[in-house]
Structure 1
């Protein structure tokens, strides 16, 4: 390689005059260059866009209205079955009387039959929870209401075995009954409202047991 070859001029750029890139040196070639390149933007077909919109709506509204309503009303079952635990708090506080008063006809009808709670339990468990014809959303909320009703056995047994008429024992019973009633009332409001919006209410001490029963 000679010294003159090393000192040869670098390729010159002649772009702004001709609009082409010219390389001069040992070899030359001309490459056309567009000074204002435009790149095509990817477009989403109408069919694909409509499909995405439908899928988005389906995911946002995945629970049917009938499933919501049925699941919401299931939470009245444990509340009606355990409303007697509110006898102290309802008689002492008028807001609770106003809140419960619209439900008095339904509660009276529920309590008028001696085995209504047990028959409803059998119907909900074997006809709804164990049936594949209902969605898992309905079966879970139904089972959660059933488990909540089953838990009422414990305060009932405690009240039957320990039934004081006055003194400190009566205060303990009143506090226990009022706590059970408030828990049932909160569970009813929370479960009913959540189901109406298509959400999944998970009650403490109840949701895990319901999950194990619903396949």
Structure 2
């Protein structure tokens, strides 16, 4: 049985990739102002990342070494941490590709569409993971879950 504490920790860990996905929601937030409420859960992550030099890298390393690779931590938290870190890595790579596409392509509507697709996809993944964690079930994301299970 997964404890409430483990569920809450796992839910909070998924705010790390969500903080990276927020960048893609700029146009979405303009069109749907009420959706700005989705930013509030990421405020502690933004605070940690901005207060420390290399804050996002330090946070990544701490989560990887202190939680995901620590056998003393429950397997549920370790699995969700590794999965959140893998989602985070995917979003970082997508962000680099997106920035390159912005420089090469000047089609504003196309880039807004791509940005909204990335944002809504990330939102769907995070919502699914948070719901599954709150139920005490490991979220099964194709490809990512297998890689996370191998690492844990």
Q: TM bucket by the smaller chain?
A: 0.7 to 0.9
TM-score by length of 2: 0.86
Q: Segments of 4+ in structure 1 off by > 3 A?
A: 101-108, 164-167
Tell me which residue corresponds to 1:175: 113
CA distance in 2, matches of 1:151, 1:101: 20
CA distance in 1, matches of 2:78, 2:42: 27
CA distance in 1, matches of 2:46, 2:60: 18
Alignment of 1:28-67 (within 5 A): 62-67=1-6
Tell me which residue corresponds to 1:118: 57
Tell me which residue corresponds to 1:145: 84
In structure 1, the gaps of 5 or more residues are 1-61
CA distance in 2, matches of 1:208, 1:123: 22
The structure carrying a bigger helix percent of its residues is 2
CA distance in 2, matches of 1:110, 1:188: 20
Aligned residues: 151
Tell me which residue corresponds to 1:95: 34
In structure 2, the gaps of 5 or more residues are none
TM-score by length of 1: 0.63
Which of 139, 147, 150 in structure 2 is aligned with 1:209?
147
Whether 2:13 is the aligned partner of 1:70: answer: no
Tell me which residue corresponds to 1:20: none
Q: Which has the higher contact order (CA 8 A, sep 6+)?
A: 2
Q: CA RMSD in A?
A: 2.2
Going from structure 1 to structure 2, the CA distance change for 1:135 and 1:166 (only over 3 Å counts) comes to: closer
CA distance in 2, matches of 1:108, 1:78: 11
Which of 168, 177, 193 in structure 1 is aligned with 2:131?
193
Alignment of 1:119-134 (within 5 A): 119-134=58-73
Rg bigger for which structure? 1
CA distance in 1, matches of 2:70, 2:83: 15
CA distance in 2, matches of 1:64, 1:106: 23
